[in-house]
Amino acid sequence: MSMTLKQLTAEYKKIGDFINTRWPLKNKEQRIFARTMKVVEELGELSDEILTSMNLQRESKIAKFSQENVEDELADVMASVVLLATELEIDLDQVMEKKIRFTRERFEINSDS
């Protein structure tokens, strides 16, 4: 399965709506706060997995298993950022396009390279 950022955002919009219905918070401010804390929490879990995999990398079997955990936690970080963007009513597709343009110009990177 391959998806665009627009499709990913649309999927997480549905998941966000479900979360907000299942675990309702008092207002938008609280939801933004909760989503922000979730990004920090997931980033902590990803850091933990990366540090663990670095300690265990000599044991190839364990390293392979921990690679899966790193992938899983990286996906959680991405998901939590997408959910935060939705709550902040930020169009990720638009802001990322703008950011890529800015970075390309800053480092003089060709758009076709």
Q: Kindly list the residues in this chain that would bind Mg ion in the complex (CB under 5 A).
A: 42, 45, 73, 76
- For the bound state, the minimum distance from the C-beta of residue 107 to Mg ion, rounded and expressed in Å, comes to 32
Contact (Cβ atoms closer than 8 angstroms) between residue 28 and residue 87: yes
Angle of helix 92-107 relative to helix 5-22, nearest 10 degrees, comes to 140
- For the bound state, the minimum distance from the C-beta of residue 50 to Mg ion, rounded and expressed in Å, comes to 13
Residue number with CB closer to Mg ion (76 or 87): 76
Residue number with CB closer to Mg ion (65 or 102): 65
- For the bound state, the minimum distance from the C-beta of residue 42 to Mg ion, rounded and expressed in Å, comes to 5
Q: How many residues belong to the chain?
A: 113
Residue number with CB closer to Mg ion (73 or 87): 73
| DSSP 8-class letter at 3 | -
**Pairwise CA distance, residues 96 & 91, whole Å:** 9
